[in-house]
Amino acid sequence: MEDKLEKFIIDNRNEFDTIEPPAGMWDKINQNVQKEKKIELKPRNWKGILWKAAGVLIIFGISFTLSELLHRNDGAIAELASESEEAQYPQLIEAEAYYTSQMNKQMTEIDKFSHTYPELKSQVDYDISELDSLYQELKNDLHDNVDNEEVVEAMIQNYRLKLQILEEILEMLNQFENPSNEKIKNHEI
């Protein structure tokens, strides 16, 4: 179909070219183009723009600060509530203090071997973090008042398990460093 249209246009080209535009038409078009080129840029009021930007920044800063303060207060309130609940269980507080100090001592000793066994530190940290996540679940159960005495005992048992793991690792490291104690020869770290 396009071929027929194209053939018709080529055959009748002379008949299409019979109408000429008026003589002044090109002059008018040229004048309009020159007017469009002469558009002047108005100077911007930079002071006004800067004041608006400063206002936006101030509002954003105040909003951010208020948001942070509210979130901190929520965390502080939750922390105070958890401390008051845990204060009901003095044996948990004592056990937490004792086992935390013991674990810190053990971790300090294990850190001394990290140059010899570099993968050891990451593995110990991973294992302790797994037990910490279990401890956090127990702590949530304590807040939910789910048979509190059993939960407290499970939390203390969690600390005992952490300390026992650290002691066993430290004992194996000491035996590897001092081969005179042939107690654990076939264990892996």
Instruction: Kindly report, residue by residue over 99-147, the tens digit of the pLDDT.
Output: 888 888 888 887 887 777 778 777 878 888 888 888 888 777 777 765 5
**What was the pLDDT predicted at 37?**
59
**What was the pLDDT predicted at 75?**
60
Could you list the mean pLDDT of each consecutive 10-residue stretch along the chain, which spans 189 residues? 81 78 80 67 74 86 82 62 58 82 84 77 81 82 70 83 84 77 51
- pTM of the predicted protein model: 0.45
Q: What distance separates the 2 farthest-apart alpha carbons in the chain?
A: 116
Three state DSSP letters for the chain:
CHHHHHHHHHHCHHHHCCCCCCCCHHHHHHHHHHHHHCCCCCCCCHHHHHHHHHHHHHHHHHHHHHHHHHHHHHHHHHHHHHHHHHHCCHHHHHHHHHHHHHHHHHHHHHHCCCCCCHHHHHHHHHHHHHHHHHHHHHHHHHHCCCCHHHHHHHHHHHHHHHHHHHHHHHHHHHHHHCCCCCCCCCCCC
Going by C-alpha positions, the residue among 151, 133, 134 that lies closest to residue 143 is 151
**What was the pLDDT predicted at 188?**
52
Domain boundaries, the chain: 89-189
User: CA–CA separation, 167 vs 110, rounded Å?
Assistant: 9
C-beta separation of 79 from 87 below 8 A: no
User: CA–CA separation, 56 vs 131, rounded Å?
Assistant: 47
**What was the pLDDT predicted at 26?**
80
User: CA–CA separation, 174 vs 181, rounded Å?
Assistant: 9
Place of tokens 């050891």: 120
Going by C-alpha positions, the residue among 104, 94, 105 that lies closest to residue 155 is 94
